A and B are shown apart, each in its own frame.
Chain A
Amino acid sequence: MQYELKTQVIEPQRHTFTHVAKRFGDKPASRYLEGSIDVQPTEHFHYRPTWDPTKEIYDESFSVFRLADPYSYLDPRQYYYAPYVTARSGHHDAFGTSLEYIENRGLLGRLPDGWSAVLGELVVPLRHLESAGQLILCGMARFGYGATITQAAAYSAFDRVGNAQMISRVGIALGGGTTETLTAAKDHWMGDESLQGLRRLAEETIVEADWGVALIQLDALDQLVYDLLWSHLDDAAVTGGAPAYSLIAQHMTNWYTDNRTWIDALYAAWRADPELGAHNADLLAEHGRNAVDTALAALTPFAQRLDARLDAGALERVAATAAASLATFAADQA
């Protein structure tokens, strides 16, 4: 359609929506703010959910973690849909390029035996753990309170599908273009002793009804798993003749770093809440401690197996990360 360009200067009647102006003043607002602030209905729900008539359709009591003003939480990445998919498009593109390079150079076939065992037996099965993350975060996207929180959760849930697909693509490549590695990895996930702690934790976190507690459990586990596999082992891969592993690791680490920002900001918002901050900090300390302890226990047989394959100091590393992680959950963190 054609339209004529106008150069006329017209004074706007207002610069943004009323609800956005109420918080940030009547000045031009970002697309993130206009597309996120106050968009979740808060009052006059017509009917109670048939699956739980004690709750409203959107209800703060789906978690013990609350904010006096849910929109005191903003995603520091300012992800609304467009920048989110744009960022992920680049991310998956970059991963695809690395994987193509790995495959063209036959780098997976040239992995030392220990590395190839770690990848097939311990890393590829974690696509199922990503899949658990997807479920947990979908629950948060539905039952969380406030559009900025649930939006970040929805994108993170979608990310988990992407992570699972990235790992699966590595598995297919490792299996020489077949599904053999994926099938074997699933058998490991189901039965191998080194993975049962993780699978138990995944299942128990999926059924955790409090989305805030579930997020903390997932996050505590992520903190240990991502550090161990994609940071600690990346260093080992560089010196251990496993460039394929390192090429994959950078993308997993990039995602993890990006994902941390919205979660850390949420913890910070919980603690900074003018009314509920102290209470939230106590809850964070309590649930964080449980979550880290449980995650460490779940990951111990996994780390032991890793050390048996590579002797990479995995057990030590996990224990050290757990200690650091405990400190970040502790109440005196601001």
Chain B
Amino acid sequence: MTLAPEKKTKKPRKLSMKARYEALTRGLDWEPSYVTKEEMFPHLEYEGIKIHDWAAWEDPFRLTIDAYTKYQAEKDRRLYAVLDGFAQGQGHLNLTDAGYLNAMKLFLQGVTPLEYAAHRNFAYLARHFAGPGPRFAALCQSIDEIRHMQTEVHTLSNYNKYYSGLHNWPENHDRMWYLSVPKSFFDDALSCGPFEFLIAIGFSFEYLLTNLLFVPFMSGASFNGDLPTMTFGFSAQSDESRHMTLGLEAIKFLLEQDEDNVPIVQAWLDKWFWRAYRVTALVSQMLDYMLPRKVMSWKESFELYFEEQMLKGLFEDLAFYGITPPRHVADAVQEKDVLSHQVYWILYQFSFAAGFTTTMPTPEHQQWLSQAYPDTFDTHFKPLWDKEARNIASGGRHFTRGLPQLCQVCQIPMAFTEPGDPTTLCQRESEFEGEIYHTCSNGCQWIFEREPEKYRQAWLPVHQIYQGNCGGPSVPEVLEWYHLQDGDAGEYLGSRDHTNWLTWQGEAAAETASHENKAGA
């Protein structure tokens, strides 16, 4: 059989880039007629959000699958080349100090699982939104978040071979007391409907607080010789800028669809700002206490990434829609002078039951802290460390053996102080169906009282320990149940990582010397 001759066809009119993208992506939806629309998208009504026109969603990126896969494959090729080179060259010996890895332990145990959870629930949005535009954006983000989870694991995999605390991160995340802070935060979002999740994670987490959360870790890496994490951070940046744009598009879309959406979105913003901000409490202490070589203080970071970029920039734009800055934002601003110190003091005392180690800040470190926090460090926190220095001198590094009371909402031990008064402990109580619930702040109390039937469900680690649900009621039983290995927890000085580090650095120095001798000979 022969091929038909080429027919004379009119020269095709090329579609514009935009029209072509729409043709490839938008026309795919249809009105179902064998099932109802409510059966197909059953989760869209109950949160009270009204969407009149899903097609009004603007895709900011107009990525087609061929372009996406090509770009992402190229980024991964470069990232994994760096990871391979690092592993082959024993790059971990170029860190500023093994103590730096405490920041990465916290990251792998506390943040990486959130990437994973984001992957799963963006898939939920990709299933349950009734518009192809936001569905596809959500699906892209869903698989981006697998990428983040995996590239983080692969980045830290080499450190795991030589250092403690990284080896059991998924179970840590499910079980350990301080990790219930990020876990309960994300579980809170996972248990929401699709629109609240979009505001909680897509907007509040990925836009409002993303720089405050991620940039400190990534800059910490670059200041402390952690080339793989820094490379990972750069590599994730273009994904994150897509996610930020999605978050911003999401909130504008909801606000523009119906005026009735405005108060609902405002309440979600109020809630999720405080919820996510409380998770960054862990970041604050990392920045001020865990990094051997400092990047900037939490206070500076908060001022730059939150006050400047978000309060000034973003909320001025959102005012157009009738949106005001989050409730309780003033408390967060006031707290910037004390937050990191209070959180690290908790972790310092309880690190015998953690997947990282802590140590007393050196005199030089304390000097930096007092310069970074002229109004608070010397008056309120230096005395604690002076006392601890005396404890250590007499052979008694301080660990608290009792169990702290946790905030019912954020699950951080109740050790925060009243806004503007660093000497008075802040404790809030609420009653619900005859029971008293404790919260750490005005923000957490407000969140609790808005949805008490939700927060009463919280799996509070300390309560669970008392009830014997964590291997048994005693501390050794709990530690056993955590599957901690020798070197994972406790004091950094003299720990397994510290001792190994000194040995390896000694060997490295000897080796360099012998190379120099050979070169000289």
Contact = CB atoms under 8 A, between A and B. Distances in A.
B19 interface: yes
B367 to A, nearest CB: 27
B1 A139 contact: no
A93 B154 contact: no
B325 to A, nearest CB: 26
A44 B184 CA distance: 9
Nearest to B230: A1
B157 interface: yes
Interface stretch (B90-98, B306-314, B327-335, B471-479): B90-98
A15 interface: yes
A261 interface: no
A89 B13 contact: no
How many B residues touch the partner, as a band? 35 or more
B5 interface: yes
Contact of A154 (B1, B69, B76, B142): B142
B4 to A, nearest CB: 5
Interface string A132-171: 0011001101100001001100110110011011001100
A178 B24 contact: no
Interface of B is mostly: helix
Given A51-B193, A179-B23, A46 B184 contact: yes
Given A41-B170, A41-B173, A1 B4 contact: no
A47 to B, nearest CB: 4
A13 B161 contact: yes
Contacts of A31: 150, 154, 157
B423 interface: no
Nearest to B72: A85
Given A46-B183, A85-B73, A168-B23, A206 B483 contact: no
A203 interface: yes
B418 to A, nearest CB: 27
A110 interface: yes
Residue among B10, B190, B464 facing the most chain A CB atoms (10 A cut-off): B190
Interface stretch (A2-10, A286-294, A320-328): A2-10
Contact of A158 (B46, B65, B91, B171): B65
Interface in B384-404: none
A239 interface: yes
B160 A86 contact: no
B4 A8 contact: no
Interface string B1-42: 111111101101111000110011101111111110001101
A203 B154 contact: no
Of listed B7, B46, B113, B123, residue having the most chain A CB within 10 A? B123
Contact of A92 (B13, B42, B69, B74): B69
Nearest to A57: B190
Contact of B161 (A15, A58, A106): A15
B457 A86 contact: no
B214 to A, nearest CB: 18
Nearest to B191: A47
Contacts of B23: 168, 172, 179, 182
B296 interface: no
Given A10-B504, A44-B174, A92-B65, A206 B139 contact: no
A162 B230 CA distance: 32
B94 to A, nearest CB: 4
Contacts of A12: 161-162
Contacts of B466: none
A241 to B, nearest CB: 5
A181 B498 CA distance: 68
A176 interface: yes
B91 A177 contact: no
A41 B190 CA distance: 12
Contact of B65 (A42, A80, A161): A161
B256 interface: no
Given A8-B504, A111-B4, A206 B40 contact: yes
A17 B169 contact: yes
B508 A179 contact: no
Interface in B149-184: 149-151, 153-154, 157, 160-164, 166-171, 173-175, 180, 183-184
Nearest to B464: A44
Contact of B90 (A6, A13, A138, A186): A6
Interface stretch (A32-40, A227-235, A266-274, A305-313): A32-40
Interface in B43-102: 43, 46, 64-66, 68-70, 72-74, 76-77, 80, 89-91, 93-94
Contacts of B77: 82, 86
Nearest to B132: A131
B305 interface: no
B24 A165 contact: yes
Contact of B183 (A6, A41, A155): A41
B248 interface: no
B154 A35 contact: yes
Contacts of A73: none
Contact of B13 (A34, A142, A178): A178
A86 B73 CA distance: 5
Most chain B CB neighbours (cut-off 10 Å) among A16, A207, A240: A207
Contacts of A241: 1-4
Contacts of B160: 14, 16-17
B161 A41 contact: no
Nearest to A96: B66
Nearest to A177: B12
Given A111-B4, A142-B120, A206-B35, A81 B143 contact: yes
B481 to A, nearest CB: 11
B404 to A, nearest CB: 18
A207 B66 contact: no
B170 A19 contact: yes
A260 interface: no
Nearest to B117: A41
B164 A13 contact: yes
Contact of A17 (B91, B126, B168, B174): B168
Interface in A256-297: none
A75 to B, nearest CB: 12
Interface string A26-67: 000001001110111111111111110000011000000000
A173 B483 CA distance: 60
Interface in B506-521: 507-508, 511
B450 interface: no
B488 to A, nearest CB: 10
B116 A147 contact: yes
A43 B153 contact: no
A41 B110 CA distance: 12
Top 8 nearest A-B pairs by Cβ distance? A177-B12, A35-B150, A92-B66, A141-B123, A6-B90, A162-B65, A12-B161, A138-B127
30 contacts: A1-B230, A6-B89, A6-B94, A6-B508, A13-B496, A14-B160, A17-B157, A17-B169, A18-B483, A39-B116, A39-B153, A49-B190, A51-B46, A57-B190, A82-B73, A92-B66, A109-B6, A131-B28, A138-B126, A141-B127, A141-B142, A142-B121, A142-B123, A154-B146, A177-B15, A178-B12, A179-B15, A182-B27, A199-B34, A243-B3
Interface of A: 1, 3-8, 10, 12-19, 31, 34-36, 38-51, 57-58, 80-82, 85-86, 88-89, 91-93, 95-96, 105-106, 109-112, 127-128, 130-131, 134-135, 138-139, 141-142, 147, 150-151, 154-155, 157-158, 161-162, 164-165, 168-169, 172, 176-179, 182-183, 186, 189-190, 199-200, 203-204, 206-207, 239-241, 243
Given A17-B157, A162-B66, 12 more contacts: A19-B171, A34-B157, A44-B175, A46-B184, A50-B191, A57-B190, A82-B77, A82-B150, A172-B23, A179-B23, A182-B23, A206-B32
